[in-house]
Amino acid sequence: MDRIRLVNSTRQLDSGQLYSGMIRLHVLHHAAKEEIFGLGIIEELARHGYKLSPGTLYPILHGLEHEGLLRCYERCLAGKIRRMYRATAVGQRVLMAAKEKVRELFGELFEDETRTHLAGTRRRVAKVQARKLAIAKRC
C-alpha cells in the first residue's frame, strides 16, 4: 500500500489508496506542463499537503513510465545526472480524459459548498450596493 499521508496529520492515513490515484493524476498534470524530477515533485506535493518519501514517489513515477504515460530521460544539471520526466502524448490524452472524469465525479462533492459560497457572495454584493445607494441618496 502507498504511504501517502497529509503533512499535518498526526497518524498515517490507512486510506492511502484513496489518495494514490489523485497523486498519480497530479504528477501527470505537472509532467504535462513541464519537465519534472523526483525531489521537485516531492516538494510540490508537500506544498499541497502530501508528504511522500522517495521510496513511495519513485515507484509511482516508474509505474507511470511503465504504463507509457511518462517518458524518462537523463539531464546533466550542475554536474549531476538527474532523471527528468515528461508526459507522453498518450499521457496528455489520458490526463485530458481523466480531468473530465474528475470534474464529473468530484464536482458533486463541492456542489453544496459552491452554492453556499455563491449565496454569500451575492449577499455581500447586495449589501455594498445598498450602502452605495444610501450614500447616493444622502448627497
In which residue are the cell numbers 513515477 written? 61
Q: Contacts for 85-90 with beta carbons within 8 Å, 24 or more apart?
A: 85/31, 85/35, 85/36, 85/37, 85/61, 86/31, 86/32, 86/34, 86/35, 86/36, 87/28, 87/31, 87/32
Give whichever of 13 and 25 is closer to Zn ion, judged by the CB atom. Answer: 25
Q: How far apart are CA 95 and CA 131, in angstroms?
A: 47
Give whichever of 36 and 94 is closer to Zn ion, judged by the CB atom. Answer: 36
The residue with its CB nearest to Zn ion is 44
Q: How far apart are CA 75 and CA 73, in angstroms?
A: 7
Q: How far is the CB of 104 from Zn ion (least distance, A)?
A: 21
Site mask for Zn ion (CB under 5 A), range 40-79, x = bound: ----x-----------------------------------
Q: How far is the CB of 96 from Zn ion (least distance, A)?
A: 17
CB 4 within 8 A of CB 20: yes
Total residues contacting Zn ion by CB under 5 A comes to 1
Angle 29-73-36 from CA coordinates, rounded to 5°: 30
Q: How far is the CB of 39 from Zn ion (least distance, A)?
A: 14
Give whichever of 29 and 76 is closer to Zn ion, judged by the CB atom. Answer: 29
Q: Which stretch binds Zn ion (CB under 5 A): 38-46, 50-58, 76-84, 114-122?
A: 38-46
Give whichever of 44 and 65 is closer to Zn ion, judged by the CB atom. Answer: 44
Q: Which residues bind Zn ion (CB under 5 A)?
A: 44
